[in-house]
Amino acid sequence: MRVLLQLGLSLILLAPQYATTAAAPSPQCQSQCGNVDIPYPFGTDEKCSLSKGFSINCTVQNGVHKPFLGDFEVLDISLTHATTRVLNHILGFCYNISTRKMEYAGLFGGIRSSSLSPLRISDIRNKFTVIGCNAFASISDYDGTGYQGMGVATCRHLFDLVDGSCSGMGCSQTTTPNKMFDYNVRFSSFANTSLIWKFNRCSYAVLMEAASFKFNVLYINTTKFNDTNAGRAPMVYDWAIRDVEGCDVARRNLTGTYACLSSNSKCIDSTNDQGYMCNCTHGYEGNPYLQDGCKDVNECNHNPCPSDGFCRNIIGEHRCSCRVGKRYVKESNTCNPDTSFIIGVTMGLFGLIVIIVITIFWGQMIIQKRKLNKVKQEYFRQHGGLLLFDRMKSDKGLAFTVYSQAELIRATGNFDNSKILGKGGHGTVYKGIIKNMPIAVKRCVLVDDRQKKEFGQEMLILSQINHKNIVKLLGCCLEVEVPILVYEFVSHGTLFELIHGKNHALQISFNTLLRIAHEAAEGLCFLHSYASPPIIHGDVKTSNILLDDNYMAKVSDFGASILAPSDKEQFVTMVQGTCGYLDPEYMQTCQLTEKSDVYSFGVILLEILTGQLPLKLEGSETQRSLSSIFLSAMKENNLDAVLVSHVKGKESMELLRGLADLAKKCLDMCGDNRPFMKEVANELNRLRKLSVHPWVRIDLEMDAESLLGGESTSGYEIELNGYPMGESENQPINPRSSYYAR
């Protein structure tokens, strides 16, 4: 019997799954079921309610729509008191004349729910009520490990019973604690009605609303109590938004689940377990859980002012006034003769002074704001903003965005240090989010007047570069003193990390590094040969070659880049770049050319061949520079001495010598003797094919002695599924986050 009661007398109320945002329901949502209003956060389905715990099932019974919360019929829902009245089932315990045993009557003797449910049994409005002449019932938490209570009702004579009295004779009531979300009711089998069944062979127990119950003597000698509402009695739930402890936590919640959406609402801590509910502030009424749900109350409709006065409704309250010669007294709500004209004039003058002071204050605020806007406009003009806008109007296909400073502040959390991707000589790069798209935001270092004048033109050219091996410039911000650039976000680290990272010998195949070098060369070739005018990168190094999700190379960081002008005098510039990669000729002449990029790229090829850093701080002067060590080894015909250990014996010496010869030509001390980047890309493409199919010689032997050749071809012509032949798709490459500035 106890097992059957445990299974039968329960109701599962699903716990709410709170949405990440407290969004308003659709206008198509049903707001009424039968004659019961269903206000939000409740709704007739999950899409119309705040969560599952607030979902109401509107069903048809005997041709009438009725709302149900689980198995309980809903009587009404109050937003003001945050309560829900339902019909709870009355549990009977009756003497069976045939079997001469006590048996339960009814299927429900409790509620089974979860602590995550928004509903709590009201400890103030409900009481555990027991009716009978020999009734002994207990109430407890559903699992029986917490709260335990009981109710006892006895009878001596029927004339001892009194209507309206529920103090033990025929009826008893017991209070319950708060924070209860479930309960279970049991009758004691020792207290039966076998001897007194002539009064009423049944006893009853139910947790019900105390205010709706009044004991009637007929409940003892008839079945009138159980017949009420088909064996059900009203019960009250307290509900609240329970995903946080209270109002203070809810207001600070960064996930946006704060439910008091109306601007004229207030948050109230729940008194029955953790959570909070919302109410409209004084002078407003409506639904505080909806945007603009709290509407102003027109108090003047209730005539709150004196009969000889005037009422004026204002937002949130009302004002009473009197005719000329009388003044309104709020305490007595009367219009009395005005004897304080001077005081009124004084107060009026004081109010005028306050208005003047406020006006001056706001005027100063407006003036300061205009000055700030002028400063922003001046920065915008200095950085070429007008040129950008003119070109954007004339070239409608220009894919370039001019961001505001406020947009980038929101995207980066006001340039939070935790969002820094990297720092370098040309600026600091932050990760940001705009329209759910990750971006890289670079705050440049101070620039001189010449760079400010050329900035707009450079942005136009860089924004139009659309090459798979060059990081895409999405836009910039020009209304700040130092320009801010916005790039696409590249997430899988740099070539530097692949070559010099931990366990690199086990993680990186030589073919992978060769493919990445070829892709980087294609990107630099595009800048030199196809951009108009050509662009010289100026800071080519492995840490400026980023890798995307597919480990494709993308050339980045154009902080040291310049446009190649027709006037060679403009090439003269301050030497900048990274030690170990700098072109010796550039350091002597201060003239940055495309052959300077070729020299730096030659150092990258050395890093791939040797696995060593381009510059060491210890050792003799000749042993510090990787290029010096390499050129010395080549001169002595001792290439094996500098090759990285895991490449020796695994790659053909023909391939390694070809790559070494290419690096040697790139590192020629005379820039005119170095190959063009287009020739470097073509040679790398030839070497890639040689590394995959070393027996293929057709058309490749003709190019072995010279770097001059035809158009560059894509390095993906002989790859399978995006990977070069000989490489594994599951190769354990795991670089860190990429850096856009070094």
473-477 and 401-402 strand pairing: parallel
- Which residue do the tokens 């204050």 mark? 361
Q: Which of 182, 539, 557, 597 is catalytic?
A: 539
Q: Helix or strand or coil: residue 467?
A: coil
Query: Cβ of 468: how many Cβ atoms within 10 Å?
Result: 15
The DSSP annotation for 173-191 comes to EE---SS---EEEEE-TTS
How far is 370 from 373, CA to CA, in rounded Å? 5
How far is 360 from 565, CA to CA, in rounded Å? 54
How far is 421 from 491, CA to CA, in rounded Å? 10
| b/e code 672-684 from CB counts within 10 Å (16+ = b) | eebbbbbbbbbbb
C-alpha R_g of the chain: 41
CA 715 to chain centre: 39
Q: Which residues sit opposite 438 in a β-bridge?
A: 433
- Which residue do the tokens 């903003």 mark? 385
83-89 and 72-78 strand pairing: antiparallel
Identity at 392, one-letter amino acid code: M
How far is 370 from 364, CA to CA, in rounded Å? 10
- Binding residues for ATP, by number, are 442
DSSP 8-state assignment for residue 583: -
* 640 classed as catalytic: no
How far is 89 from 232, CA to CA, in rounded Å? 4
Max Cα separation, the chain? 125
Identity at 367, one-letter amino acid code: I
How far is 335 from 659, CA to CA, in rounded Å? 102
Name the residues annotated as catalytic.
539
